Chains A and B, each alone.
Chain A
Amino acid sequence: MAPAIQFELSQPPTDAVSSLKFAPQSPTLLLVSSWDKHIYLYDTQDQEAGGKLIEKYEHRAPVLDVCFGADDNEAFTAGMDWQVKRINLTTGEQTVLSRHGAPVKSVVYSKEHSLLISASWDSTLHFHDLKDPEREPTTITLPAKPHSLSITASKLVVAMTSRLVHIYQLQAIAMLASHANGATAELAPWQTRESSLKFMTRAVACMPNDAGYATSSIEGRVAVEWFDPSTESQARKYAFKCHRQPDPEGDGTDIVYPVNALAFNPIHGTFASGGGDGVVALWDAVAKRRIRQYQKYPSSVAAVGFSNDGKYLAVGVCPGFENGQEDYTGEGATHVFIRELGETEAKGKGAKLF
């Protein structure tokens, strides 16, 4: 058996994890954003020591999302303080790139187009053309609050409340961002869809091969869809239940957990889902199979991320926010686990069959 081991970062964030991302170049550089108003940069190489905290960068407010930029030294954050910031990870220099009218939920960076896209609860997207740092971001208005963003080489998927999903083509966004200047613009999505899931979308993640995407909902379900609008491709879409377990009271009800996080393995094209039940499962989207399910984590899984070489899976664990919770805190109960995957651990079973 391959080294199916995992270790816990010895210096995890002090409060709930909002997002974690591996660096685009180094497979052992990990950024974690937290509700404790910091982002953390770890070197996960030294497994015995539980990784090494390289740096942490303070923000004014909880950080809701983080992503790497063009290289391992650049990061962008989405803050509760409405700001989108660029962080120079070497110098610690922070630059506010734009300001939304509400907390910024997500940021994604497209290296193909040098484009930074941020989504805020003010129902806007900001496009930053980073080829020209002086240029003001372009704003487009969404029909609803965005919950999650994901990009491929050519597309942007925005999952919003009311189960709306918009798919944009980055080409068009890049055009718009390079021409418009700081103004609010109009951009019709390439495709407008309604989520396959009945409940609020929790996360969206695109396949690395640009063929489709997966969405998850608060009601323990994951849907897989394809971009191709042809009838045949659309007929391939499916959804399945996961991250639920029988009520321990044994009255036949299922406790259904939100599926908080999705991440595709960039090498194998399989994806991981992390749920409120503390379970991380690997799925083969094409073969429609579950590849494996890892042992339960101590609490809800808030974020998952694969390293660029697909060898590591980072899992952010913290108490999940549940119904009627008044005094939520992730303090002291937040962990980040790094799991080293075996050669074929995340490989789809169906790959060799079809």
Chain B
Amino acid sequence: MGKKKRGHPDVEELLARPWCYYCERDFDDLKILISHQKAKHFKCERCGRRLNTAGGLSVHMNQVHKETLASVDNSLPNRQGLEVEIFGMEGIPAEVAQAHNQRIIAGFYQAEAERRAATGNPTPGGSANPAGGQAKKPKFESPADLKKRLAEHKARKAEQAAGGSSGGNTPMANSPMGQSPGAFNASPFPPPQATFGATQGAGYGSFSQEPYTQPAVAYQQSYPQQPPFSGPPGAQYQPQYSPPQQYPASQSFPPPGYPPGQSFPGQQFGAGSPPGSFNSYQGPPSHTPPAHGGLPNRPPSLPPAPGLPQRPSFGAPAVPPYQMQQLHQGPPPHQQGGWGGNGWKGQDQNSAMSSAYPPHSQGYNGDYSTNASSVDDLVSGAAREADDIDEIIRMAEAGIKPPKKGEASQLPITAPASTVTSNAPTAAATPTPAPETTDTTEKTEQGEKKAKKEKSIKMIYSDNDLSPEERMAMMPRYAFVPEGKTETILVDAATLPGITGTVDA
């Protein structure tokens, strides 16, 4: 059987799609998600700068605009907080991820059921059927067959009601291929088959009474052998049963329990079906499960879709912020193996991040000199970019730094600077210990920079005593040696040759 051409995705594909924590929107690609987040949620409303995380934006607002970020823009009401550090799919709390997945699954089955109701097509699970057209067969089932089956069913019922001891025989007679009797006994399939999609009410009422106890395997086994009878129902019901298999004990999975209700939204069940039977499955789809128990055995059944990054395991705790930061800043830590191979340009992001992050460690408290080195290290990665923001941050640093009075003579800091700056030998030649506060910050800053990090510089012009103009003036080409004669002439100067302008046409 060839690849199915469908306009709708598998539930696996749906689950594998990256989605945005802040607005629950999902995307084709992680890169798109990240750019979405940068554009919608992490964009500075002041200057339009796009940051990578809410924390980064917060720091940016704080440092550049001196404002405090209260909430994440364009986010759902309960997702506005800054406490969770989100980057792409990173950092989404486990329970939120679970709730999201449930919503996806619920939505998927809902959509699938609607499709089936609309088209009458079998579900993907029904592909075990030899031909797709079989699904419609029930409609053409002759009234005689129907009556016959109904009779059989009634007979069985009666039998059960009467003695029930011969339960094993009757089904054998009805379904000679050795189908498990229990599987069908309690499920009055025939009626739904005949009127599928229109009046299943009765059928589902009883169907739901023991939905998860029936081994679906039994159905599958029976399909080939019993095309006319169990084939169609199998096509219809098998997928409905399989989800429960996957989430055996989960109360938090109302949607899988509902599939039969393709045209029966929850409220109708409450009204038209045996009241007690659905109660335990009636939680609204968006209900957050109380515990993690519901999902753990899901991932095995959902191999990661190719081309998409590996989804973080849902049961795992959210990545702590510091780890998050490491992830963004340091190339090595590849906790999430999927990132690298996904065409995600880690380095680019890194530089951007590192320029956004330094403020974290600085925090604008007075002790700049102690942590300046780390800040410098962080900045250094992005320094080459001559990034706008980078400049700003450094400017902000420079501007906010408290002037450190009296540190001009602080040799431990300034001395290394002079030794390291071998490129500028004259740098130390002008100590000029003036008592101003002006220079000290710059000096200490530079001193630290030169001492701590090996960002050596090569100055195009490094003469600290003679300006380029003075140098040029010394060259014979430009030199002017005032002759004694001209020197003494004061008035004649105005009549020197060449004073009158000559138009050089």
Determine how close the nearest CB of chain A comes to the CB of B454; give it in whole angstroms: 7
CB neighbours of B502 from chain A (8 A): 56, 58
Closest to B475 in A: A328
Task: Say yes or no: is B442 at the interface (Cβ < 8 Å to chain A).
Answer: yes
CB neighbours of B271 from chain A (8 A): none
Chain B contacts with A in 457-487, Cβ cutoff 8 A: 457-465, 467-473, 475, 477-478, 480, 482, 486-487
> CA A61 – CA B388 in complex, angstroms?
42
Chain B contacts with A in 361-396, Cβ cutoff 8 A: 383-384, 386, 388, 391-392, 394-396
Determine how close the nearest CB of chain B comes to the CB of A198; give it in whole angstroms: 6
Contact B399–A199 (Cβ < 8 Å): no
For chain A, the bracket of interface size reads 35 or more
Closest to B498 in A: A58
Partner of B478, one of A11, A35, A99: A35
Closest to A245 in B: B386
Determine how close the nearest CB of chain A comes to the CB of B223; give it in whole angstroms: 67
Task: Say yes or no: is A230 at the interface (Cβ < 8 Å to chain B).
Answer: no
Contact B402–A235 (Cβ < 8 Å): yes
Fill in one digit per residue for A44-65: 1 if any B CB lies within 8 Å of its CB, else 0. 0000000001011111111010
Fill in one digit per residue for B388-416: 1 if any A CB lies within 8 Å of its CB, else 0. 10011011101100110000000000000
CB neighbours of B392 from chain A (8 A): 288-290
Partner of A239, one of B386, B430, B442: B442
Chain A contacts with B in 88-136, Cβ cutoff 8 A: 92-96, 99, 103, 105, 121
Say which one of A204-212, A217-225, A264-272, A332-340 lies at the interface with B: A217-225
Given contacts A55-B503, A92-B499, contact A252 B396 (CB under 8 A): no
Say which one of B173-181, B272-280, B306-314, B431-439 lies at the interface with A: B431-439
Task: Say yes or no: is B443 at the interface (Cβ < 8 Å to chain A).
Answer: yes
CB neighbours of B209 from chain A (8 A): none
CB neighbours of B434 from chain A (8 A): 194
Chain A contacts with B in 141-189, Cβ cutoff 8 A: 145, 147, 161-164
> CA A349 – CA B503 in complex, angstroms?
43
Contact B472–A328 (Cβ < 8 Å): yes
Given contacts A58-B498, A80-B478, A196-B439, contact A288 B457 (CB under 8 A): no
> CA A105 – CA B443 in complex, angstroms?
28
Task: Say yes or no: is A246 at the interface (Cβ < 8 Å to chain B).
Answer: yes
Task: Say yes or no: is B11 at the interface (Cβ < 8 Å to chain A).
Answer: no
Partner of A288, one of B395, B432, B470, B500: B395
CB neighbours of A323 from chain B (8 A): 459-463
Fill in one digit per residue for B64-92: 1 if any A CB lies within 8 Å of its CB, else 0. 01000000000000000000000000000
CB neighbours of A92 from chain B (8 A): 499-501
Task: Say yes or no: is B504 at the interface (Cβ < 8 Å to chain A).
Answer: yes
* Max count, chain A CB within 10 A of own CB: residue among B454, B475, B499: B499
CB neighbours of B480 from chain A (8 A): 60-62, 79-82, 103
Determine how close the nearest CB of chain B comes to the CB of A129; give it in whole angstroms: 18
CB neighbours of B477 from chain A (8 A): 327-329
> CA A182 – CA B456 in complex, angstroms?
50
Contact A199–B464 (Cβ < 8 Å): yes
Task: Say yes or no: is B35 at the interface (Cβ < 8 Å to chain A).
Answer: no
> CA A242 – CA B427 in complex, angstroms?
18
Say which one of B195-203, B351-359, B489-497 lies at the interface with A: B489-497
* Max count, chain A CB within 10 A of own CB: residue among B386, B436, B467: B467
Contact A256–B443 (Cβ < 8 Å): no
Determine how close the nearest CB of chain A comes to the CB of B402; give it in whole angstroms: 7
Task: Say yes or no: is B46 at the interface (Cβ < 8 Å to chain A).
Answer: yes
Task: Say yes or no: is B183 at the interface (Cβ < 8 Å to chain A).
Answer: no
Contact A244–B427 (Cβ < 8 Å): no
> CA A11 – CA B505 in complex, angstroms?
9
Given contacts A94-B499, A247-B458, A252-B456, contact A223 B469 (CB under 8 A): no
Contact B427–A56 (Cβ < 8 Å): no
Partner of A256, one of B439, B441, B460: B460
Task: Say yes or no: is B419 at the interface (Cβ < 8 Å to chain A).
Answer: no
CB neighbours of A164 from chain B (8 A): 432
Contact A96–B398 (Cβ < 8 Å): no
Closest to A36 in B: B478
Task: Say yes or no: is B424 at the interface (Cβ < 8 Å to chain A).
Answer: yes
Closest to B489 in A: A96
Determine how close the nearest CB of chain B comes to the CB of A256; give it in whole angstroms: 5
Determine how close the nearest CB of chain A comes to the CB of B491; give it in whole angstroms: 8
Fill in one digit per residue for A235-270: 1 if any B CB lies within 8 Å of its CB, else 0. 111111110111100001111111010000000000
Task: Say yes or no: is A276 at the interface (Cβ < 8 Å to chain B).
Answer: yes
Given contacts A35-B478, A58-B499, A235-B403, contact A194 B438 (CB under 8 A): yes
Contact B464–A218 (Cβ < 8 Å): yes
Given contacts A60-B496, A245-B386, contact A163 B430 (CB under 8 A): yes
Contact B493–A96 (Cβ < 8 Å): yes
Contact A234–B438 (Cβ < 8 Å): yes
Closest to B48 in A: A349
Task: Say yes or no: is A195 at the interface (Cβ < 8 Å to chain B).
Answer: yes
Closest to A105 in B: B469
Contact B427–A353 (Cβ < 8 Å): no
* Max count, chain B CB within 10 A of own CB: residue among A55, A57, A290, A349: A290
Contact B469–A163 (Cβ < 8 Å): no
Determine how close the nearest CB of chain A comes to the CB of B462; give it in whole angstroms: 6
Task: Say yes or no: is B455 at the interface (Cβ < 8 Å to chain A).
Answer: yes
> CA A223 – CA B394 in complex, angstroms?
12
CB neighbours of A327 from chain B (8 A): 475, 477
Determine how close the nearest CB of chain B comes to the CB of A277; give it in whole angstroms: 8
Task: Say yes or no: is B129 at the interface (Cβ < 8 Å to chain A).
Answer: no
> CA A105 – CA B467 in complex, angstroms?
11
Task: Say yes or no: is B47 at the interface (Cβ < 8 Å to chain A).
Answer: yes
Given contacts A288-B395, A353-B65, contact A225 B458 (CB under 8 A): no
Partner of A219, one of B424, B432, B478, B494: B424
Determine how close the nearest CB of chain B comes to the CB of A211; give it in whole angstroms: 15
Contact A240–B391 (Cβ < 8 Å): yes
CB neighbours of A53 from chain B (8 A): 503-504
> CA A253 – CA B424 in complex, angstroms?
13
Contact B465–A241 (Cβ < 8 Å): no
Other contacts beyond A53-B503, A320-B461: 18, CB < 8 A? A53-B504, A56-B501, A59-B498, A62-B480, A81-B482, A103-B480, A196-B441, A200-B465, A218-B461, A244-B386, A244-B457, A247-B458, A254-B456, A256-B459, A260-B468, A290-B388, A321-B468, A321-B472
CB-CB nearest 5 A-B residue pairs: A61-B480, A92-B501, A238-B399, A321-B468, A238-B398
| A-B contact list, 5 entries, CB within 8 Å | A145-B467, A196-B439, A198-B439, A240-B391, A353-B65
